[in-house]
């Protein structure tokens, strides 16, 4: 079946007891057993819950993996994946990541004996040089938050596999509608479902999808043992959001392209990071491995003062962290999403004090452009 059909139907057969067309919110912690050891497949909601199970099956189908796991947040999903590894293991991570991911690696997981190297995975030669005999994982976001750098997923997968390591891809910015990392050779796909999968800015969640049965068994064990599961209500909100993922993403993409083109021509804007622009250094790779470019854009205003003026002058775009909702959000990576990346590291990467990020929503794009035009006039 096609993507939209799967998004609407997989895991969502009519409720067997009532015929309800929508999977109910099974707001229950436990399940009554007929006799010792005899139950209907559910024992306790940390272990499994029918609403969460529906979402997990659905997301697995959309990403093309056999196993899906829903977590309490994107960070909880990333943390669960990292606990597949053990003290002494080495992980190579892309140098540009969501600031919270970098914070988890550097300020939590390092204390448990995992070791990290950071490299520019847009240039895989650099990542290749970072491999050690104990390297177990190559971890990338593509496109990256907020600089929209792109890693060649197929090449990164063969590089990792040549060194006996796995490849994990955070697919939050593209969603499975535009990019399917497992089909390109990745072993693990991660999401902050808070973003496009939910799509309506009304829930925090995370997901992991993979295809390998041994890894799947272990992650299922970790999900239950560590317990950072997504609740039934939040699972239901993501299920509901995913039904319109295809139409939303296609409108996000159209609006994203129009806003990026507007910004690229604007005299007050110095540099626009958007993979759909032919000037993006990896535009050709983006066309090859993604079927759209999405709606995340960052651009350079030249200084903190200019960035502040833009962020203060917008009326329709909302100044807020997060992304991927139907409404347009605008933010300042250096002091918001990437504040936990040390200033010198931010500067080295290009996350300057003048960088502004937009998550382009699906409002009428003329209204968004008029708002940005008005805001940029204050610079
Ligand atoms: O916020 P949470 O659901 O825990 O997801 C963390 C996360 C993981 N991966 C990527 C690529 C992300 O962008 C995020 C969260 N990002 C933001 C809140 C933000 O505004 O960029």
- Both 311 and 369 in one domain: the answer is yes
**Which residue, judged by its Cα, is nearest atom 2 of ligand 1?**
74
pLDDT score recorded for residue 253: 98
pLDDT score recorded for residue 94: 97
pLDDT score recorded for residue 3: 98
Q: Which domain holds residue 305?
A: 246-376
- Both 233 and 250 in one domain: the answer is no
- Both 230 and 333 in one domain: the answer is no
Active site residue 357: no
State if residue 55 touches ligand 1 by the CB under 6 angstroms criterion.
no
pLDDT score recorded for residue 99: 96
Give SS3 for 162.
helix
CA distances from 5 to 124, 162, 274, 285 (A): 36, 36, 29, 28
How many whole angstroms separate alpha carbon 40 and alpha carbon 79?
Answer: 30
**265: exposed, middle or buried (Cβ count in 10 Å: 0-12, 13-18, 19+):** exposed
- Both 236 and 176 in one domain: the answer is yes
pLDDT score recorded for residue 56: 98
- Both 204 and 258 in one domain: the answer is no
- Both 28 and 154 in one domain: the answer is yes
Please identify, among 242, 261, 289, the residue that sits at the C-terminal boundary of a domain.
Answer: 242
pLDDT in tens, 120-145: 999 999 999 999 999 999 999 999 99
Set 195, 248, 308, 357: catalytic member: 195
Please identify, among 188, 218, 242, the residue that sits at the C-terminal boundary of a domain.
Answer: 242
What is the DSSP annotation of 276-317?
TSTTSTTHHHHHHH-S---SEEEEE-SSHHHHHHHHHH-SSS
Set 52, 139, 152, 170: catalytic member: 170
- Both 261 and 168 in one domain: the answer is no
pLDDT score recorded for residue 186: 99
Are 228 and 176 a contacting pair, CB within 8 Å? no
pLDDT lower than 50: segments of the chain:
none
Where residue 290 sits, what CATH number does that domain have?
3.90.1150.10
- Both 258 and 221 in one domain: the answer is no
Where residue 146 sits, what CATH number does that domain have?
3.40.640.10
The preferred substitution site among 80, 100, 201, 204 for testing ligand 1, maximizing ligand atoms within 8 Å of CB, is 100
- Both 209 and 319 in one domain: the answer is no
CB neighbours of 287 closer than 8 A, spacing ≥ 6?
none
pTM of this prediction exceeds 0.85? yes
CA of 371 relative to ligand 1 center, distance in Å? 25
Active site residue 195: yes
- Both 274 and 197 in one domain: the answer is no
pLDDT in tens, 274-313: 999 999 999 999 999 999 999 999 999 999 999 999 999 9
pLDDT score recorded for residue 289: 98
- Both 210 and 316 in one domain: the answer is no
Set 42, 46, 66, 212: catalytic member: 46
Are 235 and 49 a contacting pair, CB within 8 Å? yes
Number of separate domains in the chain:
2
Please identify, among 214, 242, 270, the residue that sits at the C-terminal boundary of a domain.
Answer: 242
């Amino acid at each position: 079946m096609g993507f939209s059909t799967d998004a609407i139907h997989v895991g969502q057969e009519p409720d067997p007891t009532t015929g309800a067309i929508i999977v109910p919110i099974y707001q229950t912690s436990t399940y009554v057993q007929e006799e010792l050891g005899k139950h209907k497949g559910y024992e306790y909601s940390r272990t499994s819950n029918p609403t969460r199970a529906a979402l997990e099956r659905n997301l697995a189908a959309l990403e093309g993996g056999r196993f899906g796991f829903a977590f309490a947040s994107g960070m909880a999903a990333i943390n669960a994946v990292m606990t597949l590894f053990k003290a002494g293991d080495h992980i190579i991570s892309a140098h540009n990541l969501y600031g919270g991911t970098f914070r988890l690696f550097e300020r939590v997981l390092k204390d448990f004996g995992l070791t990290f190297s950071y490299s520019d995975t847009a240039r895989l030669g650099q990542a290749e040089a970072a491999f050690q005999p104990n390297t177990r994982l190559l971890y990338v976001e593509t496109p990256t938050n907020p600089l929209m750098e792109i890693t060649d997923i197929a090449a990164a997968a063969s590089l990792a596999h040549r060194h006996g390591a796995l490849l994990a891809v955070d697919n939050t910015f593209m969603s499975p509608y535009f990019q399917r990392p497992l089909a390109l050779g990745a072993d693990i796909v991660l999401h902050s479902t808070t973003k496009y999968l939910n799509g309506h800015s009304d829930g925090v969640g995370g997901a992991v999808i993979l295809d390998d049965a041994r890894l799947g068994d272990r992650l299922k064990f970790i999900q239950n043992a560590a317990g950072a599961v997504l609740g039934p209500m939040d699972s239901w909100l993501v299920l509901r959001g995913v039904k319109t993922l295809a139409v939303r993403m296609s409108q996000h993409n159209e609006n994203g392209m129009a806003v990026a083109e507007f910004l690229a021509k604007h005299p007050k804007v110095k540099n626009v990071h958007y993979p759909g622009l032919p000037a993006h250094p990896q535009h050709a790779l983006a066309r090859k491995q993604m079927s759209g470019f999405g709606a995340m854009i960052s651009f350079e205003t030249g200084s903190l003062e200019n960035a502040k003026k833009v962020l203060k002058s917008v009326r329709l775009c909302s100044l807020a962290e997060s992304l991927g909702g139907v409404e347009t959000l605008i933010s300042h990576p250096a002091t918001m999403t990437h504040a936990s990346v040390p200033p010198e590291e931010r500067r080295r990467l290009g996350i300057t004090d003048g960088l502004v990020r937009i998550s382009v929503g699906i409002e009428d794009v003329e209204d968004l452009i008029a708002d940005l035009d008005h805001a940029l006039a204050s610079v």
